[in-house]
Structures are given as C-alpha cells and as structure tokens.
Amino acid sequence: MAKTETKILFILFLVFLLESLGSAQKNIIEEENLSEFEGFDDIYDEDEDELFELWKHGRGNKVLVNVDSFGAAGDGTSDDTKAFEDAWKQACSKRRSVFLVPPGRTYLVNATKFNGPCDNGLIIQVEGTIVAPSEPENWDPKSTKAWLVFNNLTGVTFQGNGIIDGSGSKWWAASCKKNKSNPCKSAPRALTIDSSSGIRVKGLTFQNSQQMHFVISRSDSVRVTGVKISSPGDSPNTDGIHISESTNIVLQDCKIGTGDDCVSIVNASSNIKMKKIYCGPGHGISIGSLGKDDSIGIVNRVVLDTAFLKGTTNGLRIKTWQGGSGYVRTVRFQNVQMEDVSNPIIIDQFYCDSQKPCQNQTSAVEISEVLYRNVTGTTKSQKAMKFACSDTVPCSHITLDNVNLEARDGTAEVYCNSATGIIAGYVHPEAECLNSNDKKIEEHNVHDEL
C-alpha cells in the first residue's frame, strides 16, 4: 500500500513539473515575442457610439449639403462630377457639415480629388450609389491610378449604407494577368484616403473596383468598421483594403471577397490591428509584398485577432522580394479559422509576381517575431505551413502555439528553409523543422502570384 501511494505521489509530482515547465515555456514565448505589444490593444478602446448614423437619427445641428442641390442628376448616366465638386467646396468650408449622397439614386462620377483641410466635424454620408465610368479609354491619363481621392483631412467620418462601384469589368479584361499578350498597366483605385488623420469609415460597401478597392495611404489613426468589399475571385489586383505608409489603423467587422489580397499591408506601416475579419474569395491576409526593385520595406506591430478565411489561395502570408532590405517584426495572428485554404500559413522571401523569372539575390527583408496562435482549419495544399526564408537573412523567432491544420486530401506537411522558432501547445502537422532548422532545396523562381 505504501509503495502504491509513493508511486501516485511521484506521478502527481511529474504532472506538476511538466505543467510548470509548459507554463514557463509559454511565459518565455510571451516575453520574447509579445513584449512589444504591451498597451497596444488599449489604444483602440474607443466608444463607437460616437459614430452615430445621421440618416436614421436626423441631422441635429449639422449643416446638410446634398449633392442633388448642386445639380446632380443621380440617374447613373449623366456626369455628376461637377455637382460633387461644388457640394464638396461648400461642405468642406462650413463647420459641422454633412456631405450627403442621397439613397435610391446612382451618381456617375469621374476621377476626382476632394482636398482638405476642412472645417471641424465633417461627415460624408453615402446612402446612394457612386459609380465610375466603365470605359478605360475615357479616363484622363493623369488620373489612371485613382478614382475618388480624399486628401489632407482631419477628424472626418465616412459612413452610410451606400455603395461605391468601380465598374471594373473592362479594366480586368484588359489586364496582363487576364491576357498575357497585353502590356501590364495600372488601373484606378476606387477610394483613397491620403495624408489624413483621425478618420472613421463605417458601413460602406465597395464593389467591382478597377484595381484596389480601398487604400489608406500616408495616414494616421484610421478606424474602419462594418465595411463590405466584393469583386469576382478572378478579378486581377483587386485588393480589398490596402495599407501603405500608415500608422494606428484598425479594421474591424469587415467582410471582404476579392480577386487579390483581402488585406495587404506594405512599407512604412505600423500599429495595425485587424479584428473579426471575414476573407474569401481572395489571396488571404498579407504583409507585403515588400522589397521589390531592391527597395527598403518595413512593417512593424501587426495584430490579426479573430478571422475566418474560406476558399482563399493563401491564408496568413508574409511576402518579400529577393534583393530588398528592411524588416517585418512583431506580428501576431491569433484565433483564425480556415476552410479549404491553400497555403494556410506562408512566409515567402522569394516572392516573384513577374512574367519573367526573378534573379537570385542574397539580400532580403528580415522577418522575425511572428506568432501564430489558435489557428485551425483545413488546407487544400499539401504544405499546410511553409517558411521559405533566405539563407543569408533567415527568419527567426517564429512561434507556433496551438495550430491544427488538416488536409482534405492526403497528408499535410510543413516546409522550412532557414527558419527557426518555438513550438508550443498542440501543433499539427508537426513542425520540428523550425526547431532543427532543416533545409530542403527547392526551385524558388516558381513562387509567383497565385
């Protein structure tokens, strides 16, 4: 009896010891990879009720500036550009104005730049549909990269149940990705917020953009909630939300389905938080591409918390070109569910979106401190996790914590090249190559866009 009790006590001691070691390892992971996130979440705890829905609750003490009052026809065929420009001048110059696009009407607007600064409290209330000209040859050559641009604004709210429609089908048909005999040309981005701060975007729908749907560029403190973005899965370069040279950006409760990245984050961007994101179809949620044409690329402090990806060609992706420099650092992907996703977890330092094979180069954008936590679902590709990193600039401090990716057909695998990290919790398929830094040689010039 005494021996039995001794064995039980010894087993209990071992269990306690293993749990303590597991807890200690988890603490080490937190200290090493998450220390820079301290206080990061707190800066976004704002009261969303301040973004009241003007159309439902009346204008209050606002100055209503209706585009119809400036001669807009709203029939979908008449050119309403001048009416929008004139209405903007008045709304921008008067304090607490509301620039109103009424419901039940369609407004054809050509490429236009809406410049600030504007007086305090401006609200852009879109309830109707704004549609772009459909013929590429009718676009002003000076405006080929932009359709609706809002520049140099502070404290402005975009909201409403309206639609911004890029009429992109003829642009897609002319793309070199659709017809390889055509030259590769830029096409307009539907809506761009540039050089602005304190911006709120709520409830709008973007669809059928010529290329990128919604661009946030050179801006600070932008919060996007409840936005819907849609275009066909084969529409080329139609990124959902594209973030460039921007800081303190929040994307929340957004549903995105496009022909390219649902969200793309590129150079000089930091403090990006995404929460409750639905993605599909599309190319997943991406950091990059970075480092093209030997350029410097820097992205820092990115969080994706709670997302569902369905049928996308990539899942959680970091993509960089050979020859670049800079770094991607302090990234956290957590609470992500995937269904029939190819390349669910992928870091690719050999990205090559080119009609010609890319040349091998030794310099690369450094990638480190990336955490994948509570990522589950099914993969359509054999390689459920792929860490294709540079021999000269390896990926480091990659952490997998409770990752379970099952293959629909066959056995899921993990590929590593020059990548090291930590495995915690249950991880399937096994990713011991992160610990051992095993290398498998493979042709890198086939890492083209999917």
Active-site annotation, residues: 283
Reduced 3-state DSSP string for the chain = CHHHHHHHHHHHHHHHHHHHHHHHHHHHHHHHHHHHHCCCHHHHCCCHHHCCCHHHHCCCCCEEEEHHHHCCCCEEEEECHHHHHHHHHHHHHCCCEEEEECCCCEEECCCEEEECCCCCCCEEEECCEEECCCCHHHCCHHHCCEEEEEECCECCEEECCCEEECCCHHHHHCCCCCCCCCCCCCCCEEEEEECCEEEEEECCEEECCCCCCEEEECCEEEEEECCEEECCCCCCCCCCEEEECCEEEEEEEEEEECCCCCEEECCCEEEEEEEEEEECCCCCEEEEEECHHHCEEEEEEEEEEEEEEECCCCCEEEEECCCCEEEEEEEEEEEEEEEEECCCEEEECCCCCCCCCCCCCCCCCEEEEEEEEEEEEEECCCEEEEEECCCCCCEEEEEEEEEEEEECCCCCEEEEECEEEEEEEEEECCCHHHHHCCCCCCCHHHCCCC
